[in-house]
Amino acid sequence: MLALVFGLSLFMLWDAWQKYSHPQPPVVTAQGAPAGNPAVPIPTTDLQGAKVPQITAAPALASAATVQIETDLYKADISTLGGDLVGLELIRYRAFSNKQSDFVLLGPQHHYAAQSGLIGDGLPNHKSMFKVVSEQRQLSDGEQAFALRLEGTAANGIKVAKIYTFHRGSYVIDVSWQIDNGSTQALAPNAYFQMQRDEVKPEGEPRMVNTFTGPAVFTEAEKYQKVDFKSIQENKAKFAKSADNGWLAMVQHYFVTAWAPQGNVQREFYIRPLDDGLFAAGLIVPVGNVAPGASVTLDMPFYAGPQEQSRLKEFAPNLELVVDYGWLHLIAAPIFWALRAIHGLVGNWGWAIVLLTIAIKAAFFPLSAASYKSMAKMRKLTPRLAQLKERFADDKQRLNQEMMKMYQTEKINPLGGCLPIVVQIPVFIALYWVLLGAVEMRDAPWILWIKDLSAADPYYVLPVVMMISMFLQTKLNPTPPDPIQAKVMMMMPLIFGVMFFFFPAGLVLYWVVNNILSIAQQWKITRMVEAGGDKPKAANDPKA
């Protein structure tokens, strides 16, 4: 176990150093520019009648303009080229590098845009030019929603409009396609909705932990499926291709964008590599039959914002799975619920972490007590074990026999100090991932110098306190009979302390509180045992 922990520590330090010394340069793309493969997606299944040919329009970059929209939660940029959402600035979240600036989710830092278009002969797509016909650019006082209307050109007297509807207090943007069939023939077009993105990790990724960035698909049949960029590039990506339910998202640490068709409409998912290191992830849905002289409107909600689980659940079923707790989701989900409930009472996420740690420690008090009692007994036997080692230094088999005989005589299980801790490990790891993945920790202050629980302690106070607490715990534990193991145990506080220099302050706070509580409990039990509460029996004691 020591070798495993030591090796894992070295690997994480090496991985962090590689990220620090060889950062991946960002790909900067002009805002609104159609970088990458301009191909419009074509459905591979018969979504609606006969398949339609691919139609692309020549881009007119010189005449493309950007419309700026502002609500109470964000500022959005809409390009007249394709009517794409090419910029999104979340005004309630601060940038990682500059806390005086707003966090930019979509925009020019690296190519990331939300696009949509129609698939049909002569119909506009994300390479077509649109004309803005709405005047309003921001929410008025007391207004709950407003719309931005863009109109595109189509052949044979067909009129097409793309409408964005923005809501107060919501990160959901409704995207609608309106088709007025002025031709003499019926239409049966499809529509596609996609995110186009590069594979560059977003700013502010944890140095010591590799969080997921990339597309994800959910259907009731296939459940939640993450798709990494490498498998997409190698054409090895596996995900649900079609269903009459589900959603598609682009996930990164703390934030997400997602398309979620409403109802049980048939949809086809696609994820593919483009040129210039870009990727497209989207879905295709049928618009419906449009008779001559008739009109039809297709609505598609789009979420772009923080991974606040209450908002995600409201937007689409199971979208909260993008807050990835891995295989410990069943344990982590109720832990986060408890953390949020405590925060509702105390109003501070730092104190909520402290109180939750105390509650978890109290829940495992009996197990911890058994562990520390076993370690305290082992500590008392350390001198006698050392004598046995000296006496049978040349006979390992006899040494093991005498050690087991001593354990049986004293009624001590040498693994008694480990097994109760092993039972608690899944809970502690789940709490670790909760604190790492909760966007609520971002920019959340605790006390004094801790202004952001999701960032590293700027003065390294908490990591140093954690190192001291781990050293004290090591002193309370029984000294390993092997000198090499003893030296490794003494090095562990330093190794973990250096690792935790890069960890978010909220995680370090949890470990510090847990260590302090463990020291208090272990010290009390150790004193009780050493004072004679559990005296070791002599080997020749008839009551043994």
Write the pLDDT tens digit of every residue in 211-253.
889 999 999 999 999 999 999 998 888 999 999 999 999 999 8
Query: pTM of this prediction?
Result: 0.78
Instruction: Report how far residue 85's alpha carbon sits from residue 83's, in angstroms, rounded to the nearest whole number.
Output: 7
Tell whether the model's pLDDT for residue 31 goes beyond 50.
no
Residue 96 pLDDT > 70: yes
> What is the rounded CA–CA span in Å between residue 106 and residue 57?
24
> What is the chain's mean pLDDT, rounded?
79
More confident residue, 535 or 325: 325
3-state secondary structure of 345: helix
Residue 186, CA distances (Å) to 162, 180, 210, 225, 266 in order: 20, 11, 51, 38, 21
Query: Among 268-282, 381-395, 469-483, which range has the highest average pLDDT?
Result: 268-282
Confidence bin at 539 (pLDDT 50/70/90): very low
The side-by-side arrangement of strands in the sheet containing 172-180 is: 130-132, 145-152, 159-167, 172-180, 295-306, 255-259, 247-252, 214-219, 223-226
Predicted confidence at residue 349, as pLDDT, reads 92
Q: Would you list the DSSP string of 284-334?
A: EEE---B-TT-EEEEEEEEEEEE--HHHHHHHSTTGGGGS--GGGHHHHHH
**Domains with residue ranges and CATH for the chain:** 65-201+210-324 (2.70.98.90), 337-533 (no CATH)
- What does the alpha-carbon distance between residue 457 and residue 468 come to, in Å, rounded to a whole number? 16
Between 68 and 415, where is the model more confident? 68
pLDDT of residue 19: 46
Give the least confident one: 156-160, 198-202, 332-336, 369-373.
369-373
* C-alpha to C-alpha distances, 325 to 37, 137, 426, nearest whole angstrom: 34, 39, 12
Backbone angles phi, psi at 177, to 5 degrees: -110, 125
Spatial separation of the C-alpha atoms in residues 293 and 158, rounded to whole Å = 9
**CB atoms < 10 A from the CB of 488, how many?**
16
105-109, 190-194, 500-504, 519-523, range with greatest mean pLDDT: 190-194
Of 461, 480, 466, whose CA–CA distance to 375 is shortest? Answer: 480
pLDDT band at 35 (very low <50, low <70, confident <90, very high): very low
Q: What is the CA radius of gyration of the chain?
A: 30
d(CA 16, CA 385): 40
Name the token pair of 144. 């709950």
By CB neighbour count within 10 A (0-12 exposed, 13-18 middle, 19+ buried), where does 538 fall?
exposed
- Higher-confidence position of 135 and 382: 135
Q: Which residue has the higher pLDDT, 495 or 20?
A: 495
Question: Residue 381 CA to chain centroid, in angstroms?
Answer: 46
pLDDT of 267 reads 93
